[in-house]
Amino acid sequence: MGRLSVTLCGIRLDNPIIPASGTFGYGYEFAELYDINVLGTFSFKGTTREPRFGNPTPRIAEAPSGMLNAVGLQNPGVEKVISEELPKLRNCFRKPVMANVSGFSVEEYVSVCEKLDKEEQVGWLEVNISCPNVHGGGMSFGTDPHAAAAVTRAVKAVTHKPVIMKLTPNVTDITAIARACEDGGADGISLINTMLAMRIDLKTRRPILKNTTGGLSGPAVFPVALRMVYQVSQAVQVPVIGLGGVSSAEDVLEMMLAGATAVEIGAANLTEPMICRDIIENLPAVMDRYGIENLNDCIGGAWK
């Protein structure tokens, strides 16, 4: 194992860098820019049972040190992901991939996870109970410990691959949700998803986003994400994936010191498509600068 290698839920990664769901498509688009096999893995676009067009436009807005999105889980549905997207992905990515799953009911989460669990290239199921941009699903499951545990238990009952529950920061006590997922059988926790936010157009005096609110991502949320990773990694025994505003190798080290085993990079992919590759290339030099020989040595180092 190299000095960048980590193990996530029993699966070895060459490095901890994972492009986050919704910012990397199904991988093959980025494969036209660089060899995406340099990544640890990536989390593909959030998948639901039925195709979704997403929310009406405008659904993107700028914000200081970040952006708001209210895309609303636009995707072709799980059947087309399996029949069309994954075969194209196999042509350019030879590692296990993380399947991101969203739903509007426990039954939908179960149905989609059961189908994707059978796909050979899927290594992990990242179950999104944290999307703030849909009504009647997503975040409504992630703000209540009992609902979060119910989704976790139901998904674990029909799957064999590691299940990672993706949590929302829009709660009072993030550790209560994380513990509930762990009690429900989760193999890992990823956090944070976007923070509920909005912008108003001064000319029209109306919200910029057609959905009124959206999810804030980018560097503005990094300190909040870091704090929550620090708290959750001490509250559970399963591995934690840290994400939220990460945009440099230094940010990756902070996340890992806070307790993350792996680190997802989201909004930065949209403004700098080569960012994940560049961070992987920069990590050894930054580790040397701070006297870190192996990344595993610094996981949770800020509190252990």
* Cα distance between residue 122 and residue 124, in whole Å: 6
CA–CA gap between residue 92 and residue 87 (Å, rounded): 10
Q: Is 99 helix (H, G, I), strand (E, B) or coil?
A: strand
In angstroms, the CA 171 to CA 249 distance is 28
How would you class 86 by CB atoms within 10 Å of its CB: exposed for 0-12, middle for 13-18, buried for 19 or more?
buried
Q: Which residue, chain included where needed, has tokens 């949320």? A: 221
Catalytic member of 9, 131, 181, 276: 131
The helix/strand/coil state of 88 is helix
Q: Is 92 a catalytic residue?
A: no
In the chain, DSSP finds a helix count (H) and a strand count (E) of 11, 15
Paired sense of beta strands 11-13 and 6-8, if any: antiparallel
Burial 277-286, CB ≥16 within 10 A → b, else e: bebbeebbee
54 phi-psi bin (left φ>0, alpha ψ -120 to 50, beta other): left
Q: Residue 26 is encoded by which pair of tokens? A: 């199904």
Which residue shows structure tokens 């059978």?
A: 118
Residue 97: burial class (beta carbons within 10 Å; 0-12, 13-18, 19+)? buried
- Residues 60-83: b if buried by 16+ CB within 10 A, e if exposed: ebebeebbbbbbbbebbebeebbe
The token pair at 279 is 């961070």
Show the tokens assigned to 302. 């800020």
The residues carrying an active-site annotation are 131
